Amino acid sequence: MTFLLLTVSRNVAGSKAPRIGVLALQGDVREHCAVLRELGCDVIEIRLPSHLEGIDGLVIPGGESSVMDKLSRIFRLATPVREAIAEGLPVLGTCAGLIMVADRIEDAIAGQENFGGLDVTVRRNAFGAQVDSFETSLTVEGVAGPALDVAFIRAPEVTAVGPGARVIASLADGRVVGVRGGNIIGVAFHPEITGEDRIHRMFLELVAQRSLQRPAAVDA
């Protein structure tokens, strides 16, 4: 186990591994779960409000944001997730997950809602249809080592960044594809599909930092 994961495991829930939820209503849930388990996390798939209890962080995967929105309301997850984010739960949103945590959506379908929390505006499907998917190398602020190999699949674009967030990744043409603000990391791409785990490691650092800020539990 790497030094990072030793640190995370010691700082979250005592000596236990961090308990990370993956929103499992739709999208590439399995791939995110596999990366997180490989990094030593205790992973739970989130389908009901009760599944949120006791998690140290939440991953919102890629997929279809409008479908995630509808299902999150059907299963009464939308409000609990929104409240957890507002209370400081660390969140990683990838592709559609970025749309779900954005405060503003330029081209939302009629009635579409999101969780919010990240002070950005996004545009859905900014990189075209499924056939326009591509892989590229990308430098991300806060990620050491060589450029990341990542995939863009019907990806969104960040079109505006408010004062509550900052850009951490841009393409060569200047389009913003990675942002961070407070307890949230949002990226327009899929690191999990190409076998890249450094975005998840950065997210786990955020989880560990939050655990240090919370008061330790006192035994009765």
Q: What positions carry a catalytic annotation? A: 95, 190, 192
216: three-class secondary structure by DSSP: coil
CA distance 34 to 87: 27
Residues 6+ apart with CB under 8 A from 197: 35, 38, 39, 191
69, 85 Cβ separation under 8 angstroms? no
CA-based nearest residue to 92, from 193, 4, 206 = 206
CA-based nearest residue to 62, from 196, 189, 185 = 189
Residues 6+ apart with CB under 8 A from 41: 17, 18, 19, 20, 204
